[in-house]
A and B are shown apart, each in its own frame.
Chain A
Amino acid sequence: MADRDVVFRVKRYRPEKDSKPSYQRYRIPYRDDMVVLDGLNYIKDTMDPTLTFRWSCRMGICGSCGANVNGQPKLTCGTYIRDVHRGVVTVDPLTNFPIIKDLVVDFDDFLNKLASVKPYIVREDWGDLTKEYVQYPEDIEAYKQQSMCINCMLCYAACPVVGANPHFVGPAAAALALRYIRDSRDEGADARLERLNTKSGVWECTFVGECSVVCPKDVDPAGALQTLKFLATMRHMKRLLMPKMASR
């Protein structure tokens, strides 16, 4: 039983027949406990099966359902309609990405950027792989915050630098680079800092800070980027001043 109606104003784009995106309005009934994703699914199930959008877990862990809700990057599964309801709820695809169809964006670039920072443990010598690597609670604390990233790309939608410069490595990839640099099992800090000390690396960041504001998992990519700038500078100075010693 619905309490009242809400209008969803959703950006549509059908590549076979549209030359540019346009809005379509749907009036749907809603209850207080509905999230934006429930609204989109209601539309798809009962009103317009052609509406296309990504979603999966419905609980803010898979990172699939990112969209711009009333101009702000949000996970549609984690945004209650009652919190954004001003008569009309506008849903756009994530800012700063090319649109494939409706709310589905093309994020191949992001995947390439993520791969470029080597988001996995890098070691010279793996040792005895039948035994675990010992880590104490403080070792895990060192990288835990950045490890919470779900690759939802809300931070890329929030970052004006990504919007102007698609080559910028971006918040999430940088945060994950730091996650592995800070992992006591990892030995790949030099390789990652080398990759980040480039024209598309950390130096593009101007610390707007919006990425950390929109992050649904409190990863704080902005703080991570400033730390990486500092680490990259230290490494750079070491290599310039003491080239024989800087070989990690």
Chain B
Amino acid sequence: MTARPYPWKRPRGWWLRNPRYLSFQLREAGGVVSALYGLILLNMLLQLRAGESAYTAFLDTMRTPPMLYVNLVLFGLVVFHAVSWFMLIGKAQPIRFTEKPIPWKSAFAVNLVLWLGVSGAVVYLIFGGL
């Protein structure tokens, strides 16, 4: 055969081709935004060490509009990332606790319940309760 096979090149907008690819990109973005918040929390500790006026100035910047709206969008991505993580560890199950893999919907539900429990523990242990 003298003619070459026609080569493949992945199109730029590949992730717009179906909803699962799009949700994958949003999940990835949620992960990156989580790192961003990690840096923001680090800055918060820096401002805490600098004193009350520095800390309060930082917190006000984060909470007043339009920063509040930006934060809400970013927070939405973080929550999307968290929920998709619970779904994924239901689907992957690399460590097997039972003989057969648990159906992923059950694992997902268990993870959501665990999440509620852990969140409650954080409210009480870290933030001192209601």
Q: What is the interface of chain A, defined by CB distance below 8 A to chain B? A: 13, 15-16, 20-21, 71-72, 95-100, 105-106, 138, 141, 160, 163-164, 166, 206-210, 212-213, 220, 222-223, 226-227, 229-231
Binds A, one of B6-14, B34-42, B72-80, B114-122: B6-14
B93 within 8 A of A: yes
A230–B94 touching, CB < 8 Å? yes
Residue in contact with A210 in the complex, picked from B1, B10, B20, B88, CB distance below 8 Å: B20
B64 within 8 A of A: no
CA distance A223 to B6 in the complex (A): 32
Q: In chain B between 87 and 128, which residues have their CB closer than 8 angstroms to a CB of chain A?
A: 88, 91-95, 99-101
B20–A229 touching, CB < 8 Å? no
Indicate the member of B6, B21, B100 with the most A CB atoms within 10 Å: B6
Give chain B nearest CB distance to A62 CB in angstroms: 22
Q: List 6 A-B contacts (CB under 8 A).
A: A16-B2, A71-B18, A97-B8, A98-B7, A106-B5, A207-B92
Indicate the member of B1, B8, B24 with the most A CB atoms within 10 Å: B8
CA distance A15 to B100 in the complex (A): 49
CA distance A229 to B24 in the complex (A): 19
B20–A207 touching, CB < 8 Å? no
- Size category, B interface: 20 to 34
A15–B1 touching, CB < 8 Å? yes
With CB as the reference atom, state the residue of chain B lying closest to A166: B8
Residue in contact with A141 in the complex, picked from B7, B8, B92, B100, CB distance below 8 Å: B100
With CB as the reference atom, state the residue of chain B lying closest to A14: B3
Residue in contact with B14 in the complex, picked from A21, A163, A206, A212, CB distance below 8 Å: A163
B6–A96 touching, CB < 8 Å? no
B15 within 8 A of A: yes
Inter-chain pairs besides A160-B15, A212-B91, 15 sampled, C-beta below 8 Å: A15-B1, A71-B18, A72-B18, A97-B8, A106-B5, A138-B99, A160-B10, A207-B88, A207-B92, A209-B91, A220-B91, A226-B92, A227-B93, A229-B94, A230-B95
Residue in contact with B5 in the complex, picked from A98, A208, A230, CB distance below 8 Å: A98
Residue in contact with B92 in the complex, picked from A13, A160, A227, CB distance below 8 Å: A227
Give chain B nearest CB distance to A78 CB in angstroms: 19
CA distance A138 to B100 in the complex (A): 9
